[in-house]
Amino acid sequence: MRSLTEPEIRASFVNCTKGEASRARLPRGIDELDWAGLDFLGWREPGAPERGYLVAEFEGRVVGVALRPAQRPGAGRGGAMCSICLTAHPASGVALMTARRAGRSSTEEYASAGEYFCSDLACPLYVRGRRRAAAGGARMSESLDAEQRVARLRANLAGFLGRVVR
Ligand SMILES: [Zn+2]
């Protein structure tokens, strides 16, 4: 994705209030990030791990999504897989991220969309081999090369963003 500035990131959020977007703590060092190697920028809020965020390009614009991470039920046993990048982790390495859908109040039906993500929201690093899952996850033989894994990640992410935005 193209590089973004802090004001662009704050202005991109589609599913939280302006106040929440202005209070969100951004990851450090966004000026030095390898943006070209990211399909989305995702992070857990430093000091407030119950809040997560992701920012991505979607349908020609920058879309920021505030997330509520929840540990997977039964975490601590067995393995789990991220639904976005399909990286296998120990169960604690995957978290259900729930997003309020843009333009809906919390009491509406289908007000939120959820998906299992790598709990550190670092999917782009895993598919490129820049970060490795902790041992303990199921090891899968993966026949796709990095480029195909990136394409799959982007398709899965677009599906999630479509549910949040529409
Ligand atoms: Zn992932």
Which pLDDT value is given to residue 138?
A: 59
Q: Is residue 44 domain-resident?
A: yes
CA of 83 to the centre of ligand 1 (A): 7
Degrees, nearest 5: CA angle 36-48-114: 65
Tell me, yes or no, whether 1 lies in a domain. no
Dihedral sign computed on CA atoms, order 100, 71, 130, 6: positive
* Residues contacting residue 163 through CB under 8 Å, at least 6 positions apart: 101, 113
Rounded to whole angstroms, the Cα distance separating 76 from 95 reads 12
- pLDDT at position 72 is 53
CA 164 – ligand 1 centroid, Å? 18
Distance 125 CA to ligand 1 centre (A): 9
Distance 79 CA to ligand 1 centre (A): 13
Within 13 Å, how many C-alpha atoms sit on residue 155's CB side?
7
Q: Is residue 64 part of a domain?
A: yes
Domain that holds residue 59: 6-165
Q: Give the single-character DSSP code of 97.
A: E
Q: In angstroms, what is the span from residue 156 Cα to ligand 1's centroid?
A: 10
- Separation of alpha carbons 46 and 70, rounded Å: 16
Cα(73) to centroid of ligand 1, in Å?
18
**pLDDT 10s digits, 68-79:** 998 655 555 678
For residue 130, tell me if it sits in a domain: yes
Answer whether residue 111 is part of any domain: yes
**Measured in angstroms, how far is the CA atom of residue 151 from the centroid of ligand 1?**
13
38-73 residue pLDDT tens:
999 999 998 888 999 999 999 999 999 999 998 655
* Rounded distance between C-alpha atoms, residue 38 and residue 23, angstroms: 24
pLDDT of residue 67: 97
Count the domains in the chain. Answer: 1
Instruction: Enumerate residues 6+ apart whose C-beta is below 8 A from 19.
Output: none
Span from the CA of 95 to the centroid of ligand 1 (angstroms): 10
